[in-house]
C-alpha cells in the first residue's frame, strides 16, 4: 500500500491525547510510551511496570530538564482478556510492549467518535490532532503500519491479535491486504513505531473535544 493509496481512502488521521499536551508535542513531537520513558530517563523497574502491565490510571513523570508529562492509562484492556485472544505464543506483557512502542492514529470519524463517546471518557476533555495523511505517510513510510482492530481494547468480544496484526504500510496493496485479512476488514488504526518527532509538520487542525 502506498502513501497515496492510504491517503485516498483516509485523507486525514486523528490522534487523541491530553488537552494540555500541545506544548510538549511542539517540543518533542509525538512519542511512544517507550520513547517517553527513554527521554525521561526512567529506571528499569518503573519501565517494566509502565510497559508490561495494564495501566488502570494515568502515570505522571517528572524530569529535571524536561519537566512533567503524563503517561495515559489503558483502561480498555485487561490482562485476563488478553490471555484469551493472543496468538503466536504471545503473553500479555509481549502485546503491551508492542503497543507501548508505537503511537496510534484513528483513521475515521466513526472510530474517533466511539473513543470520545466511550463511557469511561464521559466528561473527559481530550485534544484531537487532525493529521494530513499523505504528507505524514510519505515522510514516515518505513515506520508506519496499518491495523484492522482496536489494538488497545479487550472490551466485549476482543478480536484475535498477534504478530501479524500490524502490517507494514508498504507490504501489500490494499486489495491484497483485505483479501488476506478477510474482505470485511478495514483499516481501523494507523501506527508509527517509536513516534513522530516532526508531527507538527503534518497537523492540519487541532481542537479540544
- Residue by residue, DSSP assigns 19-35 as TT-HHHHHHH-EE-HHH
Percent of the chain surpassing pLDDT 70: 98
- Residue by residue, DSSP assigns 82-129 as HHHHB-TT--HHHHHHHHHTEEEEE-SHHHHHHHHHSGGGTT---EEE
**Residue 96: its pLDDT value, please?**
97
* pLDDT value at 92 more than 70: yes
Question: Between 57 and 185, where is the model more confident?
Answer: 57
Cell readout for 38 is: 527513554
Cell readout for 142 is: 518505513
* pLDDT value at 183 more than 70: no
pLDDT tens digits, one per residue of 142-169: 999 999 999 999 998 999 999 999 999 9
* pLDDT value at 60 more than 90: yes
pLDDT band of 178, cuts 50, 70, 90: confident
Cell readout for 3 is: 502513501
Reported as type and span, the H/E element at residue 202 is none
Cβ-based neighbour number of residue 11 at 10 Å: 12
* pLDDT value at 58 more than 70: yes
pLDDT band of 117, cuts 50, 70, 90: confident
Cell readout for 29 is: 513531537
pLDDT band of 123, cuts 50, 70, 90: confident
pLDDT band of 115, cuts 50, 70, 90: confident
* pLDDT value at 100 more than 90: yes
Q: What does the mean pLDDT of the chain come to?
A: 93
Residues 26-39, mean pLDDT to the nearest whole number: 96
φ, ψ for residue 161 (rounded to 5)? -155, 150
Helix (DSSP H) and strand (DSSP E) numbers for the chain: 9, 11
Amino acid at each position: 500500500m502506498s502513501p497515496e493509496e492510504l491517503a485516498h481512502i483516509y485523507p486525514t488521521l486523528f490522534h487523541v491525547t491530553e488537552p494540555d499536551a500541545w506544548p510538549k508535542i511542539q517540543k518533542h513531537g509525538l512519542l511512544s510510551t517507550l520513547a517517553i520513558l527513554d527521554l525521561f530517563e526512567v529506571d528499569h523497574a518503573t519501565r517494566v511496570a509502565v510497559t508490561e502491565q495494564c495501566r488502570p490510571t494515568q502515570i505522571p513523570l517528572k524530569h529535571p530538564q524536561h519537566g512533567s508529562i503524563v503517561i495515559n492509562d489503558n483502561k480498555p484492556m485487561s490482562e485476563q482478556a488478553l490471555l484469551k485472544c493472543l496468538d503466536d505464543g504471545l503473553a500479555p506483557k509481549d502485546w503491551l510492549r508492542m503497543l507501548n512502542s508505537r503511537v496510534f492514529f484513528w483513521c475515521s470519524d466513526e472510530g474517533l467518535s466511539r473513543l470520545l463517546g466511550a463511557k469511561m471518557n464521559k466528561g473527559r476533555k481530550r485534544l484531537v490532532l487532525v493529521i494530513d495523511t499523505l504528507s505524514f505517510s510519505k515522510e514516515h513510510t518505513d515506520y508506519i503500519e496499518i491495523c484492522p482492530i482496536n489494538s488497545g481494547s479487550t472490551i466485549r468480544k476482543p478480536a484475535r491479535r498477534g504478530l501479524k496484526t500490524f502490517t507494514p504500510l508498504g507490504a501489500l496493496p490494499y486489495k491484497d491486504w483485505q483479501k488476506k485479512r478477510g474482505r470485511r476488514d478495514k483499516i481501523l488504526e494507523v501506527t508509527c513505531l517509536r513516534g513522530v518527532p516532526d508531527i507538527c509538520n503534518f497537523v492540519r487542525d487541532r481542537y479540544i473535544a
